[in-house]
Homo-oligomer: A and B are copies of this chain.
Amino acid sequence: MKVENPTSRDIADLAGVSQATVSRALRNSPLVRQETREHIQQIARELNYFVNRNAARLRTHQSNTLALLLFDETGGNDAQINPFFLSMIGYITRSAASMGYDVLVSLQQLTDDWHVEYQASHRADGLILLGYGDYVSYREKLDALAAANTRFIIYGPIVKDQPGHSLGCDNETGGRAATEHLINLGRKRIVILGDTSKRHPEFASRYFGYARALQQAGLELDQDLKIHADNTEEHSVEAMQQLLRSGRSFDAVFAVTDVLAIGAMHALADAGLHVPVDVSVVGFDDLPRAAFVTPALTTVQQNIREAGEGLVKAIAGLIEGKPVESIQMAPKLIIRDSCGAKK
């Protein structure tokens, strides 16, 4: 009764049926008589048999696998993934498992010739793309994906004319909510911090929300308060130090990511300014660490659970040939201490 690496043929011999019947029985085909089916499954269990997925995949042309591609934002120096996207992995994995998909994880650098290979080599049926990338640089890759008929979904903004599907939060509404909140707290000179160029459409949308809120409140849109910073804590600190040195007055900072907001808080504290008394700070993302910094960071939350589940559902739909629409989710303002709303 002991077989080293049992195959369906071994089960068939043991059960006294054909190999085809074993295959059917193990897939719970209604074609097989219940009694036969149970007998076969019993034997399979005893032998600790599992279907060789590679054979099944070769035969069916389906891998039942999703590839999760994370843009490596560190340029290959480190393998630390942006914590916002990192925490999505759990939800994606669980959600995929519940739908019968395995999840392959891979870090992708801008220089890599990525993506195309996963589906072409039949390792994955579709791709999920995660990361705050530079969309101008990535565009070329996305076009290559589309040209190869690869199924993919990006977590990010809906960009006009961009190939493929996207799922992201409504960045403009989020940026607007953050800014309105600051305005309601009496703040009038609100810095917008980050790379809001078209290279980062999600950040640009947050900026549009900011601009709209100011406009609606009758506040001036001062270009001097638009501060560029690449999306790292270090760049944020630097940008804020420069702003402080310039002597320009401001009473609030809306950073387009939490990473930037945390950097800004450090720079402000180092300059002897008190958050939120002197300057209110609001971020975006609700990173796990946002609740742990002091003062706890007020921020715009993107629902990562909803995002993870939505991404899997979308790519599964694409794989099954269903029509899938790009989706925008509602962001949520999380009020903590850095804005000064709580007294």
* Residues of A near any B CB (own CB < 8 A): 48-55, 57-58, 63, 65, 68, 70, 78-81, 83, 86-87, 89-91, 93-94, 97, 102-107, 116-117, 120-123, 148, 262, 288-289, 292-294, 305, 308
Give the distance in Å from the alpha carbon of A116 to the alpha carbon of B65 in the complex: 18
A sample of 19 inter-chain contacts (CB < 8 A) reads A52-B121, A53-B121, A54-B54, A54-B58, A70-B90, A79-B90, A80-B90, A83-B288, A86-B86, A93-B106, A97-B106, A97-B107, A103-B106, A105-B105, A262-B292, A288-B289, A292-B292, A293-B294, A294-B294
Q: Determine chain A's interface SS by DSSP, over half rule.
A: mixed
In the complex, the answer to whether A105 meets B106 with C-beta atoms within 8 Å is: no
* Across-interface contacts of A63 in B (CB, < 8 A): 54
Number of chain copies forming the complex: 2
| Contact A120 B292, beta carbon cutoff 8 Å | no
Evaluate whether A93 and B107 lie within 8 angstroms (CB atoms) in the complex, with A116-B48, A305-B79 already known: yes
Cα distance A330–B140 in the bound complex, in angstroms: 44
CB distance from A302 to the nearest CB of B (A): 15
Q: State whether A123 and B102 are in contact (beta carbons under 8 Å apart), knowing that A48-B116, A305-B79 are contacts in the complex.
A: yes
B102:A104 contact, CB within 8 angstroms: yes
Inter-subunit contact A93/B79 (CB<8 Å): yes
Min CB distance A60 to B, Å, is 9
Chain B nearest CB from A104 CB (Å) reads 5
Give bound CA distance, A91 to B283, whole Å: 28
Q: List 8 tightest A-B contacts by C-beta distance, closest first.
A: A79-B90, A294-B294, A50-B120, A54-B57, A50-B121, A54-B58, A79-B94, A289-B289
CA distance in complex: A87, B93 (Å): 16
Q: Contact between A53 and B86 (Cβ–Cβ < 8 Å)? A: no
Q: For residue A70, which residues in chain B have a CB less than 8 angstroms away from its CB? A: 90
Bound: A53/B107 CA distance, A:
20
- Least distance between A162 CB and chain B CB atoms (Å): 21
Q: Report chain B residues within 8 Å CB of A308.
A: 79
- How far is it, in angstroms, between the C-alpha of A216 and the C-alpha of B68 when the chains are bound? 50
Contact B104 A104 (CB under 8 A): yes
Q: A48-B120, A55-B58, A308-B79 in contact; A90/B107 too (CB < 8 A)?
A: yes
Q: Give 7 A-B pairs besides A83-B83, A86-B86, A103-B106 with Cβ atoms closer than 8 angstroms.
A: A48-B148, A50-B120, A53-B122, A54-B57, A89-B89, A94-B107, A262-B292
Our pick among B83, B103, B106, B123 for the contact of A53 (Cβ within 8 Å) is B123
